[in-house]
Structure 1
């Protein structure tokens, strides 16, 4: 006998589902307080809406609020609101049915304009069950506005609950958590206050806790501990500069004023607010943490704190930015602790990046002193964007500042636009050199011929510069080239002179190759040198020796590469070698030509002691 096609509903083991919700969904157990306060806020907001049509609903107690209290003797924590409350049927629908969101159904029933005005937070219908993360029994007492009938709901979170009538209840809902034996920390008033301030400081309704004495609440004495407002949600025209600075200091735990900020509201299919600050100096957590420790932006959804260090909202190279992103809606996992990637998130991220780059550009254009302060603090970090953000590479490159052979010392004040503006007639290359210090870059022998021709060279001495330059190959149609890599472009006269010098020095070049043997890959006459006897030459994609040394010191395995040695046949030291008949002495001179070239390039000598002995032999004749 065959069975025909049939349609059936999924069945669920309720006890197992509740176990998963309470033991696997939340990574931070303190989240329960955020979820219960969010539910209480929604209840107050619903009453606010319904009382517009029927003022009598809120008449008995019009000051909407949320109260969190604790009882160390009974080992309970209670969250109470005087919002809309629930009838018996609503308790069954909202709490007795897992993943049934009363807020979501309420929002669906609102008109478009009402939805925009609502500050309702809940969406999944599971936040209430986070109470069972810290409680082994939960009691709910509720009376709906406009009704005299109260209801009591109670459960141990193992699959069943009890319902009973409750008399003499005030309007609203009280959730009582009977804490597990190992959850004493939530009986401490300091822990409750800190958790509320962390997650719910900007909830629109006052959150009150009892004043305490020796850890015990005092009857009838309450204090409001949340801000109950969000500065970023107010119109910009109503916020003073002192208020912006005050909020920044509380946000970033910084004693210094912010350098500047940008505050924007985006309306449309996706609405969100951003308030982004540029600090005036590296925040403490940025200086102490690495690239992977992100604490810059705080993500809120309808004023409820979701997460810190929101990596998804800004790329790594903008990790110095401090601020707030408050979205009306974003795709979160059910615990509301993890963002899910989608186009909405990409749109917010793109908007944040654009706002920050706009802000830095405005600073560079309108306030040179503040931009100098910014660059000294965060220039190195911004350079990472050349590698990480190809879409904005040109914008970031425009903001970069460098020292140069025509600048003042090590001051990084030359932009790429400045450089292009004073290029020589016929020059089509932006020249740069990297080294492990400004002095080493400025004194590099590889710059000699460019200096002699009065060609400006950018001097890059930060650790990131070699990595950055490998990804910044052109700007504004001009090629960017390292003066230490490849071959220098020569005019016809220069080429002819170079060929003649190479031909005349060919026997010397061969002798040096033989003397150095396996220590070099090649030896050739240099077109770069005018005053120095030798230097190293790199291929276009070779790693600079100083960077290879730093990586090796950091524990990275680096492939061994034989350097190319360039010599200046007109230098007296090279001429001395050429006329030296003793092969041992000529070998010392050849080795010194290589070793001094390696030192000026930032390479590490394999045998410093041999170098010193060799130098002494040459000096003593």
Structure 2
């Protein structure tokens, strides 16, 4: 070895003190001070991490069996020392290199960390729930320990490549190389004063059965001395039994993948805990579906509907999907090919019997078997939601509040299940006149008037704007229910969901509103006579606004307002325009139609105004106030103010 190589090796072996990433310091402070009521979760998190490490090595060993180093039986071992007040969690999984230890234990690479920290409130209860959306993982050790040591060696590396990492959670950590004969990781927690209960073997056994019974690998602990004495009746002395207790281990958990067990043998508490293992969420799931499909394609799935949306729900490029196993061998996290994007909130696992163990993400995209499984899993999720909506409406209301806007993407993305998704949609309406979205399309159709042929709706930027839209006036007067759509995705939804149960969906702010089916002959004649009687007024307004509007006509919509703007049948609405502009795309130009209400005093005054300058000002004001009523923005606000002031002064 050259002098330079020797010096480099010596530097690597020597202890090196480094500072935590700023976000880690904040996270540590938060967990240490805010999670005192959830402190036992550290064990669940560390066992889950150990399980993941074993999963990863088992997968890598498919291609490189030499990584196992002759140790093919994966297990997680927990030791407690009530005298030294320590607890250690060991696994024979993939392990860490020095560089990986620095990266994974000293920084948070997870996207959204800054957003997470910005949303902290200082309220311990709320903050502890928020952490559940991000996962706490290794850092949960510092909830109960004032010093944490990690001994790790990556599989395939030589014994002298072992790593010793140590920190007191005070902003710094120390790392050095040590010789470790076995691959894997051992975490030693030196418990704080007041947390010595976690060095009690019986206490840890109870927590393992409570939180980690579902782990697919054996979680082992030393047999208690009393138990060994019972088994060693032939031993000549108690000391031999005590000695045996130091070397004999027993499996504490089921050590069987939960999804492989019959549903009748799995308790609700076990399903809920497995969900927390998969998602690192503190809250219970709203619902789950556990099923096995046999036949041409054989697979088992365990799918969960969370109770709360994750922080990155609207990041369409964020990691999503199910944990994929092939014949109980872990293959990958976030396998997004098994569910459509509008179901990206679903968590869980899928275990396929027919896929090759070396399958990659690219192969998943090309494998025709995946389409079959995707179809089946999508149906299973939609059936689960339908059952939740029917049997537990309060839970479904919680689901809709968190994920409804995402589900609204379904009709555009999944034509085959459009009707199924449509039945799950919920909206506000003029019937209840409240912001809660709890009206289904089936509810609406069931209440339609006998002569009503269309499902009426209006879109707006906010619920308040939708509720007060002038386009609703005649429909309200006639007692016709209108759906109030104010989510940004609603125009996208209605562009693709054109009908339901044989009834077409009709935007009351687009095109000519044909109310022939619900109008009396007298009402039709009145409108026709108004159009003829005020034809000259219509022409004058049209001339005054020839650069602003496409047409002017007498309204069939208004009862109290002087005017409103109406889009063409195929024009983009305000919501879609804003979405396109936010994405840097230019929306196609289109002029609206202005509908006027000749019975309104403002129009009567305009009709009597001989001065063309004043008439033009009033026409522009009519157009601008109609724009504002729609929640739109004026092209020239200053000109509007000057025009309004001029008209106000003229009244003096």
Compute the TM-score of the two structures, normalised by the length of structure 2.
0.64
The secondary structure found in structure 2 opposite 1:487 is coil
Question: Which residue number corresponds to residue 599 of structure 1?
Answer: 628
Instruction: Answer yes or no: is the 8 Å Cα contact 1:193–1:225 preserved in 2.
Output: no
Instruction: Answer yes or no: is the 8 Å Cα contact 1:263–1:274 preserved in 2.
Output: yes
Say which of 558, 567, 577 aligns to 2:596: 567
Q: Does 1:428 align with 2:453?
A: yes
- What whole-Å deviation, never above 9, does each CA across 1:360-387 have from its counterpart, x for those lacking one? 0001111111111111111111110011
Q: Does 1:537 align with 2:566?
A: yes
Say which of 265, 280, 289 aligns to 1:262: 289
Instruction: Answer yes or no: is the 8 Å Cα contact 2:257–2:328 preserved in 1.
Output: yes
CA-CA distance at 1:323 after TM superposition: 0.6
Question: Which residue number corresponds to residue 291 of structure 1?
Answer: 316
Instruction: Answer yes or no: is the 8 Å Cα contact 2:326–2:357 preserved in 1.
Output: no
What are the equivalent positions in structure 2 for 1:275-424 lying under 5 Å apart? 275-286=302-313, 290-330=315-355, 338-424=363-449
Question: Which residue number corresponds to residue 525 of structure 2?
Answer: 496
What are the equivalent positions in structure 2 for 1:245-260 lying under 5 Å apart? 245-260=272-287
Aligned residues: 462
CA-CA distance at 1:423 after TM superposition: 1.0
Q: Distance in 2 between matches of 1:207 and 1:471?
A: 51
- What whole-Å deviation, never above 9, does each CA across 1:487-525 have from its counterpart, x for those lacking one? 222435444322221111111111112212211111111
1:207/1:518 CA distance change after superposition, 3 Å: same
The secondary structure found in structure 1 opposite 2:409 is helix
The secondary structure found in structure 1 opposite 2:513 is coil
1:176/1:395 CA distance change after superposition, 3 Å: closer
Instruction: Answer yes or no: is the 8 Å Cα contact 1:330–1:345 preserved in 2.
Output: no
What 5-or-longer segments of structure 1 have no aligned partner?
Answer: 1-29, 48-65, 74-133, 136-174, 196-200, 210-218
Say which of 473, 486, 491 aligns to 1:461: 486
CA-CA distance at 1:567 after TM superposition: 0.6
What are the equivalent positions in structure 2 for 1:101-140 lying under 5 Å apart? none
Per mean C-alpha deviation after superposition, the further-off stretch among 364-373 and 183-192 is 183-192
Question: Which residue number corresponds to residue 618 of structure 2?
Answer: 589
Instruction: Answer yes or no: is the 8 Å Cα contact 2:322–2:348 preserved in 1.
Output: yes
What are the equivalent positions in structure 2 for 1:478-557 lying under 5 Å apart? 478-491=503-516, 492-557=521-586
What 5-or-longer segments of structure 2 have no aligned partner?
Answer: 1-54, 74-90, 99-152, 166-175, 188-212, 222-245
Say which of 215, 226, 236 aligns to 2:263: 236
Instruction: Answer yes or no: is the 8 Å Cα contact 1:313–1:348 preserved in 2.
Output: yes
Say which of 587, 608, 616 aligns to 2:645: 616
Instruction: Answer yes or no: is the 8 Å Cα contact 2:289–2:303 preserved in 1.
Output: yes
Question: Which residue number corresponds to residue 120 of structure 2?
Answer: none
Q: Distance in 1 between matches of 2:285 and 2:96?
A: 42
CA-CA distance at 1:339 after TM superposition: 1.6
Question: Which residue number corresponds to residue 150 of structure 2?
Answer: none
Instruction: Answer yes or no: is the 8 Å Cα contact 1:306–1:336 preserved in 2.
Output: no
Compute the TM-score of the two structures, normalised by the length of structure 1.
0.67
- Cα RMSD, aligned residues only: 4.0
Question: Which residue number corresponds to residue 155 of structure 1?
Answer: none
The secondary structure found in structure 2 opposite 1:324 is strand
